[in-house]
Amino acid sequence: MPIDEDTLQTIQRRVAKSKRVSFSDPIILHETHVKRVVLVPFYIPRTDGTDLAIKIVSYRKAEAPEAWGQVEEKSLSLNESASRKLLTGLKSHLRVAEEDADGSYILIKVSEGTARLGEIDPATAATALMKALSSNEIVDHLSGAELTDELVGAFRGAIRLKEMREAVSKLRLNLDAGEAAEQVYQEWCEKHTWAFGNAYVMRDEVRNISIGDSLDLLLPTVISGYRDIVELKRPDSNVLGFDSQHNNYFFASPVSQAIGQCHRYLDVLHEAAARGLMDHPEIVAYHPRAIIVIGRSNIWDQGKLKALHGLNSRLNGITVLTYDQLLAQGERLIEMLSSQFVQEENAGDFEIPEEDDFPF
């Protein structure tokens, strides 16, 4: 493995002509064809050790070609205390520079394992810390530290809720922007299968159940482990039509086609995976169910929502869901988990709510 400059550096320390201090090679901070700014490190011996001082020098190019350093424009010298403050300031503000948004940022200094909050309000610091803990690697590290199981669980729960809120926000943004590509929602649903309810755990990687039959999602149930399927259609598809002569709603053509497609998938899956799919014996399906996600319902009135509920109630093994209902279900799950602050590691371990807990 090659070693870069960040991994290994060689620094030469040489005594100056005055014999009173030492110095290292200048570090070029900025350079153009007419100007150069360098930082020169100096080492000053003291009775109790060595201080580091720096000098920042600006040069302009002399008339002679390539004659750098012949004309010094200005310089600034900093003693050890000022140099350390400069280093601390750069480190802190580089952290802020990594963020895209303006606002107030809290940097918490940890000394000997204890966070020094100073005058910062504890509630504000706790909120900032929770927002900062967005990596599962951090929680895994915390598990090895001297923390209680309750505290580690709280971190895990907070991080999981943050991820779920960000996912729901992303889905809402795509819908509000009028994004209609199936691939966008396919990728979202693959990453966030928890939105289909706590009855399911993480999806299977397998999608082909027979020659020519490829599913959008294959989801194992929590209780039995048997597989159900999810079929995704475009959010700009029509879901319901209205028969004015008979004064009733009916499934529009895109939904009817999807229902027919799912009937075939259900038959094939039931036969092919009754004892486990070929080459995948762990994938078992027994009287599987299907969820079709299609269209929007954000501007529907209660009559139309009731009609969809009634039509779904009379389907056998298939449920038609709009993307707005999927969004509402995700938001409802987040509300439930926020109130309970469940301390499991992932959505598959969450308590399964009753059917009436969902918004449709």
Q: Whole-number mean pLDDT of the chain? A: 77
Please compute the mean of the pLDDT values over residues 180-188 and round it to a whole number.
92
Nearest Cα to Cα of residue 254 among 234, 276, 277: 234
The whole-angstrom separation of Cα 46 and Cα 338 is 57
Question: How much is the pLDDT for 28?
Answer: 85
Please compute the mean of the pLDDT values over residues 253-259 and round it to a whole number.
96
What residue type is 19 in one-letter code?
K
Span of 108-112, 166-170, 294-298 with lowest mean pLDDT: 108-112
Whether 168 contacts 158, CB under 8 Å: no
The whole-angstrom separation of Cα 15 and Cα 24 is 9
Buried b (16+ CB within 10 A) or exposed e, 13-24: eeeeeeeeebbe
Question: How much is the pLDDT for 71?
Answer: 63
3-state secondary structure of 329: helix
3-state secondary structure of 360: coil
Please compute the mean of the pLDDT values over residues 97-106 and round it to a whole number.
73
Q: Give tens-digit pLDDT for 122-155.
A: 556 555 665 555 555 555 665 555 555 655 566 6
Please compute the mean of the pLDDT values over residues 16-44 and round it to a whole number.
84
Question: How much is the pLDDT for 225?
Answer: 73
Question: How much is the pLDDT for 58?
Answer: 85
Residues ≥6 apart with Cβ < 8 Å to 5: none
Q: Which residue has the tokens 């190019």?
A: 61
The whole-angstrom separation of Cα 193 and Cα 203 is 7
Q: How many helices (H) and strands (E) in the chain?
A: 8, 16
pTM for this model (two decimals) = 0.55
Read off φ and ψ for residue 306, nearest 5 degrees. -65, -35
Q: Give tens-digit pLDDT for 194-252.
A: 888 766 766 656 656 666 667 788 888 767 778 888 999 999 999 999 999 999 999 99
pLDDT at residue 51 greater than cutoff 90: no
Side-chain-side CA neighbours of residue 357 (13 Å): 15
Answer with the residue of higher pLDDT: 73 or 13: 13
